[in-house]
């Protein structure tokens, strides 16, 4: 049994209890993928499995048998960052950086989901074949990736600029209730 990680074929561990996260970090020393909660709550461990975002702490390595995993280490092209990585740098998408690999992998998977027309909790027209990548849609679709530094506005800016607007992204303006003077 084996799995392809960032283009390289690697054998799966004999112990069927090993998670994809522990395979990456402890067996392959790919420590870019972070362990936050180790129980599916924070999104820090998000990687791509055959192009779909997964929570690697809750996925057994044996489930990836014969499939392809992409981690943050597999996104750059040599010295050239993936456009979303560069956008995170340009738009203040991180502070400590702990959540960043998961944010970036999650956003790549999320953009593909949106492109396929998959609705989210805030999608108004569930039958629409094309869903607008509004700030609300992007924030909702990234809500499984927590950032304790509070860099969410820059994160959404970077995602929007990379995949959707291609223009200078405006700062995120949340819909807050009006406060009486």
Which residues of this chain interact with ligand FES, rule CB under 6 A?
35-38, 40-45, 55, 57, 94-100, 147-149, 151
* Shortest distance in whole angstroms from residue 24 CB to ligand FES: 11
Rounded CA-CA distance 142/43 in Å is 9
* Shortest distance in whole angstroms from residue 97 CB to ligand FES: 5
Complex with ligand FES: residue 108 or 147, whichever CB lies closer: 147
Q: Three-class SS of residue 157?
A: helix
* Shortest distance in whole angstroms from residue 126 CB to ligand FES: 27
Q: Three-class SS of residue 102?
A: helix
**Residue 76 has what DSSP assignment?**
S
Complex with ligand FES: residue 6 or 46, whichever CB lies closer: 46
Complex with ligand FES: residue 69 or 131, whichever CB lies closer: 69
Token pair in block for residue 64: 């990836």
Q: Three-class SS of residue 11?
A: strand
Complex with ligand FES: residue 135 or 152, whichever CB lies closer: 152
Is-contact 45 57, C-beta < 8 A? yes
């Amino acid at each position: 049994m084996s799995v392809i990680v960032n283009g390289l074929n690697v054998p799966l561990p004999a112990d069927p209890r090993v998670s994809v996260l522990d395979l990456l970090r402890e067996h392959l020393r790919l420590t870019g993928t972070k362990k936050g909660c180790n129980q599916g709550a924070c999104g820090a461990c998000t990687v791509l499995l055959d192009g779909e975002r997964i929570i690697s702490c809750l996925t057994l390595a044996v489930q990836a048998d014969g499939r392809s995993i992409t981690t943050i280490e597999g996104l750059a092209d040599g010295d050239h960052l993936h456009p979303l990585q560069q956008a995170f740098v340009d738009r203040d998408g991180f502070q400590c950086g702990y959540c960043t690999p998961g944010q970036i992998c999650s956003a790549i998977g999320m953009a593909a989901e949106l492109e396929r027309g998959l609705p989210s909790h805030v999608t108004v027209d569930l039958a629409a074949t094309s869903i607008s990548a509004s700030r609300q849609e992007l924030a909702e679709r990234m809500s499984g990736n927590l950032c304790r530094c509070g860099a969410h506005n820059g994160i959404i800016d970077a995602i929007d600029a990379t995949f959707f607007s291609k223009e200078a992204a405006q700062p995120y303006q949340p819909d807050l209730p009006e406060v009486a003077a």
